[in-house]
Chains A and B, each alone.
Chain A
Amino acid sequence: MGQCLRQVIMPCVAAIAVAVACSNRFPAVPIAAGQAANPPAANAADPLPPQTSDDVSKIQERVTARLVVAAPTTNPNSRTRSAPRPLVTAKEAEAMRKSAIRFLVSRRNDKLLWESTESPGRESDSLSGYRWGLTTAASAAH
């Protein structure tokens, strides 16, 4: 499975990320600290995707806004009845992100990254994952 993971799955997800990185699909949406996300969108009771282009746009905006981590808060509109929300602040999320990027950057001169494991002339699987991580980060950075 590990071999399949490296040879098949990683390049696949990398492809998506490269496309997103090239497209810069979601601009960063500023959100005030502590501001709760919009009310939950459709869930199990109403699982269908939106019906019109406008609806799609609105949902995408809501989800994008939610992807910006606000300070820990309790959303009274949340239907979640499980444990309280984990406390991950915007500052912590940023630190996690930078730390992960540093790890990838620190590996950029590893021989492993530049050695092909499939066939001559092909980039290594490691490089695919590495590039995927960086291009994802790039798409978020501008």
Chain B
Amino acid sequence: MGIDDGGVSRALIESLGERHLEEQSGQWLANHPLSPEPRAVLLEIPVGPTGDTRSKARAEISKRIRNELLASNLADVNPNPILRQRQIEGTLAGALGLLDLCEYKEPLETKLLLHLQEQWRSLQDADGSWASTANASRIDRARLTAGSVALLSLIRRELIRAQNESAAVDIACETAIRRGLAWLDSCDPADLIHLEVLPNLRSAAVATGRYRFGRIDWFWEGMAFLKRVQNDDGSFGKANDPTTRLYETACGLHFLARAR
């Protein structure tokens, strides 16, 4: 199965779904117990099944994630740093995933949006950045801060869309976004133009309308960076570990997906 001149063959994508998910037919939802992290549940959205099956599954998962996010309490800090990291990263991914879905489908409840907004704002560090661990690297911090700015901006958009004007002009939220952007503006190019950071940076740029972070034109510099780090076999990055190589290639592809 190849890639035709018109782009990626949809059949290719569906073959993956057939192999991994359609084998389980309609039973896969029943066979997959709810994971502790919403991101894990969202991952199980089937790629292969189409039409009603796909819509039904997505609606079901969306409902589960909404309930999980509404019940989440990030102020309840897990003493295990790994679990804490999962808690934060999972909440961010689940919330961003839902906001992506809700843009043109069903809107999120105002109650959930306000809950997420409050939770996420409270995680912001004094310097305006976000991190999932106390000793996060600069790149990890940039990745999470970009994702957080995207999240708060998208929540704000949804609140405006719901015409909940009192919530939309939440000064504290505006300030959090402003401080997050200021932190990103202060970053070195090497912190932002990085395979791990680029996908979230793009999300933040799309959500806020930014063309640049500081002096960094994220799009053009990102493109030039990808051009530099692409290998002859099409992968991105220099990682020897095949798992990391796959991950970094997916990051690059994510950034490139609309660049055509």
Residues A101 and B3 in contact in the complex (CB < 8 Å), given A6-B243, A67-B258, A123-B20: yes
Cβ of A33 under 8 Å from chain B: no
Q: How far is the CA of A88 from the CA of B223 in the complex (A)?
A: 7
A81→B77 CA distance, assembly (Å): 44
**Distance from A28 Cβ to chain B, minimum over Cβ atoms (Å):** 7
Query: How far is B98's CA from A19's CA once the two chains are assembled, in angstroms?
Result: 7
| Contact with B39, one of A11, A50, A69, A135 (Cβ below 8 angstroms) | A11
Residue of A nearest to B97 (CB): A19
Please report which residues of chain B, range 219-245, place their CB below 8 angstroms from some CB of chain A when the two chains form the complex: 219-221, 223-224, 226-227, 230, 233-236, 241-244
Instruction: Tell me the smallest distance from the CB of B150 to a CB of chain A, in Å.
Output: 9
Main secondary structure of the interface of B (DSSP, over half): helix
Shortest Cβ gap from B209 to chain A (Å):
4
Q: Are B260 and A140 in contact (CB under 8 A)?
A: yes
Enumerate chain A residues within 8 angstroms of B113, measured Cβ to Cβ.
Answer: none
Instruction: Indicate which residue in B58, B98, B257 contacts A136 across the interface (CB closer than 8 Å).
Output: B257
**B185, B235, B249: which contacts A44 (Cβ < 8 A)?**
B185
Min CB gap B211→A, angstroms: 4
Contact A60 B227 (CB under 8 A): no
Residues on the B chain within 8 Å of A140, using CB: 7-8, 257-258, 260
Q: Which of A64, A81, A93, A136 contacts B250 (CB 8 A)?
A: A136
User: B60 on the interface (CB 8 Å rule)?
Assistant: no
Q: Measured between alpha carbons, how far is A93 from B224 in the docked complex, in Å?
A: 10
B247 and A100 contacting across the interface, CB-CB below 8 Å: no
Would A129 and B257 be within 8 Å (CB), given that A53-B160, A66-B211, A140-B8 are in contact?
no
Query: Which chain B positions have C-beta within 8 A of A126?
Result: 242-243, 246-247
Check if B203 is an interface residue, CB within 8 A of chain A. yes
Expressed in whole angstroms, the Cα–Cα distance for A130 and B235 within the complex equals 12
Known: A86-B223, A93-B256. A101 touches B89 (CB 8 A): no
Chain B residues with CB below 8 A from A71, complex form:
none
Q: Given A12-B93, A129-B243 in contact, is the A47-B182 Cβ separation under 8 Å?
A: yes
Flag if A102 contacts B253 (CB, 8 Å): no
B29 within 8 A of A: no
Could you give, for residues 25-67 of chain B, a 1 whenever the CB lies within 8 Å of some chain A CB and a 0 otherwise? 0000000000000111011010100000010001000000000
Report which B residues bind A (CB closer than 8 A): 1, 3, 6-10, 12-13, 16, 20, 38-40, 42-43, 45, 47, 54, 58, 82, 85-86, 89-90, 92-94, 96-98, 100-101, 103-105, 132, 137, 143, 153, 156-157, 160-161, 174, 177-178, 181-182, 185, 196, 199-200, 203, 205-212, 214-215, 217, 219-221, 223-224, 226-227, 230, 233-236, 241-244, 246-247, 249-254, 256-260
In the complex, 30 of the A-B residue pairs with CB atoms within 8 angstroms, ordered by the A residue number, are A4-B82, A5-B244, A6-B247, A15-B38, A17-B254, A18-B47, A19-B97, A22-B58, A23-B103, A25-B104, A44-B182, A44-B212, A49-B156, A53-B157, A62-B209, A67-B219, A69-B259, A82-B215, A86-B223, A97-B256, A99-B234, A100-B235, A101-B8, A104-B250, A107-B242, A125-B243, A130-B250, A133-B246, A134-B16, A137-B13
